[in-house]
Amino acid sequence: MKEGWRGRFFEDFEVGDVYEHPLGRTVIAADNVWFTLLTQNTAPVHFDHHYAAQTEFGKPLVDSTFTFALVTGQSVTDISQNVFANLGWDEVQLPAPVFEGDTIYSQSEVLEKRESKSRPEVGIVTVKTTGYNQDGKTVITFKRTVMVYKKDHSPAMSRPKLEAAEGERA
């Protein structure tokens, strides 16, 4: 049995490394409407097609906080799978709009890495994450700082053993 990907631990990060996050995601109309309603964002440019048609964009914009959440989520497998805590997001920039039907991809670059002064079981890592669409156009950038467990201090990822099927028992 080989262990599956468990994400990076503090020791695995190196300043200058760039991680191309493996999953892209196409945004559908339901994502935009549900997220807009879930967050009580009443801006009609997100869910009123008639209103949005009268704007310079001519169609609904995807709620920017959905884009922020999506790109953060895409980065988890590489950046914060072993997070102790998120410390903050800074310098969020939205240089281009996202529309329903766009596919969003992302990557992160390690900017800083240091030992925690207060918690010897974790380290602090800062990355710059960039989200871009199917045309390679950047739609979001932000810096994110996380406390990440060191390998020997991470909570155990134990799972129950799979029981053998009736016909497979010796």
CA-based angle 138:107:100, to the nearest 5? 45
Residue 3 is assigned to a structural domain of this protein: no
pLDDT at position 168, please? 62
Structure token pair of residue 69:
């959440």
Structure token pair of residue 167:
């016909």
Say how many domains are in the chain.
1
Please choose, from the candidates 100, 68, 75, 63, the residue with its C-alpha nearest in 3D space to the C-alpha of residue 24. Answer: 75
pLDDT at position 20, please? 94
Strand partners, 88: 145
Strand partners, 112: 126
Burial of 35 (0-12, 13-18, 19+ CB in 10 A): buried
CATH number for the domain including 121?
Answer: 3.10.129.10
Chunked in runs of 10, what are the mean pLDDT values of the chain (170 residues)?
Answer: 75 94 94 90 90 94 94 93 91 96 97 92 95 97 94 70 65
Domain span at 22: 10-151
Residue 113 is assigned to a structural domain of this protein: yes
Residue 164: partners with Cβ closer than 8 Å, 6 or more residues away: none
Residue 70 is assigned to a structural domain of this protein: yes
Phi-psi region of 153 (alpha: psi -120 to 50; beta: other; left: phi over 0): alpha
pLDDT at position 158, please? 60
Residue 163 is assigned to a structural domain of this protein: no
pLDDT at position 7, please? 83
Residue 170 is assigned to a structural domain of this protein: no
Residue 5 is assigned to a structural domain of this protein: no
Main-chain phi, psi angles of 72, to 5 degrees: -60, -45
